[in-house]
Each structure stands twice: as C-alpha cells, then as structure tokens.
C-alpha cells in the first residue's frame, strides 16, 4: 500500500550556513515567492532548520509569511531540562521558545560528532517527552550499500530508537532517509531505489507501530528542483530534507511546489 495520503513535509537544513545578512535575504526572497503563490499546509508543510543562534530571528521573520514556515532546530541536547551544561540546548528550552521540531541523528552528527545510538536515544526521548516532533535521520554509507547491507542498516537505525518511543509518541516522529553517499555529492538515489527503500522503511515502521502507514518518510541527498518532481511522484516519499538547494529561495520553493502538487 502506498503512503500517498500522508501530507508531505519539505524541510530545508541550512546546516552551518549562512551569515545573517544572507539568511535575511534568503527569507525575504522565499516570503516573496510564497506571497505570489502560496503553498497551503494541506498540500505541503514547509520548515527551515537554521543554526541555533538564528532560531528565534528566523522564526520571527517568517511569522507574517503567506504560508506557514516552521522553524526547526538542527539538534537537541542529550540532557533534559535546565542546569549546569555549558553549550547545550535542551528539548524543554526549545519548546519554551516555541520551536516545535528538531532534527535528530543527521549523518553529520553521527559521523563527525560521534552521536551513537545510545546518545540518539537520549535525544529522541527528551524531545518526544518535551512534546517536540522529531525528524529522525537515517541512512547507509556507500560501503554499506555496496556490501548489500543498506536496508538492514537503515532498519536497524529505526529499531535503535524504538525502546524509547512510547506507543502514542510515534505520531511525533518524521523519518528522513538520507543515504550518506548522496549528501552534498550531487548524486541522488534513483526514484526507484529511493521508493524501494522507503517502502522497506514503511514496512519496518508498520511492524513497530499502528501509525506506520501515516508517518511521513522524507528523502534527503542532493534533492534539487530537477529531481524533485520524480521523487515526489513516489508513493512512499512524503517530502524532502534539503541541504544545499535550500540555501537558494527559488530552488527551495520549486521543491516544495513539486511535493505540494503531487499530493
């Protein structure tokens, strides 16, 4: 069965970009595009994930946009609440600042900052318990794909967090499949390969939760306007997590439009 009744999400992951002046310009240009031709929340939900110091400014700048644009945190502390934890931002503090979504488990955090399955469980648990929606990122390396282990790796990454997700909290999870070899490389999984992995992820989710059929499963890895339409046409691809192309207002808008029109 397809997952095509799921409202898509298109989220721009700005990573450690851009400087403030460029961010303001990017927001302005994107708001103008929405002003000319808005995208309803029923057709496609839109989010952007700026660096943590910019979260509040970006949120404020989008407040009067013609379509809602959600502000998404790129990470959250493994520590809950408040306290003497220099440099950390907890799920409760994100919630207190009206930030509703957070990325957890991006491959850059797993690889460069040693976010292990144990740490990711703590982050996911804190975020869910604070009432946030978690965009949980998964994906295999090129070596794992070449060794025929892609599906097994990805399904294991989902199973890793299952022990900390309470039955009703699966509704607060969006999954983002981002094959590591496709991130920032210009290489995208073919729509067939991506759909086949997304279908396997959906089956895995359905075994864990009755909400599996309705959960959004986003694709990430060199998503551009040129490949967005084909990806959006796949029944189990319910949106995109966009890196590089989200730093260009026109490209990001076209990607959101592609998903909005497919539903």
The annotated binding site for substrate is made up of 13-15, 184, 222, 243-244
Tokens of 192: 């067939």
CB contact at 8 A, 14 and 259:
no
| Nearest to ligand 13P of 206, 224 (CB atom) | 224
Q: Interface residues for ligand 13P in 7-66 (CB under 6 A)?
A: 13
Rounded Cα distance, 56 and 62, in Å: 10
Which residue's CB comes closest to ligand 13P?
243
- Give whole-number Cα distances, 66 to 26, 27, 129, 160, 245, in Å: 15, 12, 31, 39, 21
CA 161 centroid distance within chain: 16
The backbone torsions φ and ψ at residue 116, rounded to the nearest 5 degrees and listed phi first, read -85, 165
91 vs 138, beta carbon nearer ligand 13P: 138
259, HSE (Cβ side, Cα atoms, 13 Å): 35
Asked about 106 being catalytic, the answer comes back as: yes
Tallying the residues shown for the chain, one arrives at: 263
Does 74 interact with ligand 13P (rule: CB under 6 A)? no
Of 67 and 227, nearer to ligand 13P (C-beta) is 227
Token pair of 59 as six digits:
């949120």
Report the distance separating Cα 35 and Cα 145, nearest Å: 42
Which residues, numbered 93-112, are part of the site for ligand 13P (CB under 6 A)?
Answer: 106
Report the residue from 120, 243, 251, 262 that binds ligand 13P according to the rule CB under 6 A: 243
Active site residue 178: yes
Among the residue ranges 142-150, 166-174, 176-184, 210-218, the one whose residues contact ligand 13P (CB under 6 A): 176-184
Shortest Å distance, C-beta 167 to ligand 13P = 28
Contact between 7 and 263 (Cβ < 8 Å)? yes
Does 220 interact with ligand 13P (rule: CB under 6 A)?
Answer: yes
Q: Which one of 106, 108, 122, 198 is the catalytic residue?
A: 106
Kindly state the tokens that stand for 73: 């945190």
Determine which residue in the list 81, 184, 210, 250 makes contact with ligand 13P, applying CB under 6 A: 184
Tell me which residues are annotated as active site.
106, 178
**Which residues lie near ligand 13P (CB under 6 A)?**
13, 106, 178, 183-184, 220-223, 241-245
């Amino acid at each position: 069965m397809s997952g095509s009744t799921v409202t898509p999400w298109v989220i721009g992951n700005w990573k450690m970009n851009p400087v403030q002046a460029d961010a303001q310009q990017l927001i302005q240009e994107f708001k103008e595009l929405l002003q000319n031709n808005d995208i309803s929340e029923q057709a496609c939900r839109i989010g952007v994930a700026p660096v943590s110091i910019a979260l509040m400014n970006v949120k404020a700048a989008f407040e009067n946009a013609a379509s809602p644009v959600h502000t998404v945190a790129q990470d959250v502390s493994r520590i809950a609440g408040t306290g003497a934890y220099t440099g950390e931002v907890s799920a409760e503090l994100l919630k207190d600042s009206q930030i509703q979504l957070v990325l957890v488990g991006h491959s850059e955090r797993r690889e460069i900052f040693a976010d292990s399955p144990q740490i990711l469980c703590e982050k996911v648990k804190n975020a869910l318990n604070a009432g946030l929606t978690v965009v949980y990122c998964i994906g295999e390396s090129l070596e794992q794909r070449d060794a025929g282990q892609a599906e097994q790796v990805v399904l294991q990454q989902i199973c890793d967090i299952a022990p900390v997700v309470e039955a009703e909290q699966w509704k607060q999870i969006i999954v983002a499949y981002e094959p590591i070899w496709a991130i920032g490389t210009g290489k995208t999984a073919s729509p067939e390969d991506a759909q086949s992995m997304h279908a396997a992820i959906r089956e895995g989710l359905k075994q864990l939760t009755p909400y599996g059929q309705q959960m959004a499963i986003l694709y990430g890895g060199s998503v551009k306007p040129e490949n967005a339409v084909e990806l959006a046409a796949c029944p189990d691809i319910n949106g995109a997590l966009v890196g590089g192309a989200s730093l260009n207002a026109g490209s990001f808008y076209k990607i959101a439009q592609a998903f909005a029109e497919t539903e």
